[in-house]
Amino acid sequence: MNKEEIESKLKLEQAYCHKPQGCYLAKLSLDSEIAFLLPYIKPQVKALYFEPAEGYLIFKWPFRGIFYKVSLTINEVKIGIVRDKEEAAEVLIHLFNFLFDLYSKRDNLKPDFNPIKRPSTLEIYKILPKTNCRDCGELSCLAFAGKVSMAEAELSDCPHLSKENLRAFPL
**pLDDT tens by residue, 17-74:** 655 567 888 999 998 899 999 999 999 998 989 999 999 999 999 999 998 999 999 9
The CATH number given to whatever domain includes residue 127 is: 1.10.15.40
Total domains present in the chain: 2
**90 & 144 share domain:** no
What's this model's pTM, rounded to 2 decimal places? 0.78
Whole-angstrom distance, CA of residue 43 vs CA of residue 65: 21
The CATH number given to whatever domain includes residue 26 is: 3.30.310
Q: Which helix (H) or strand (E) holds 79?
A: strand 76-82
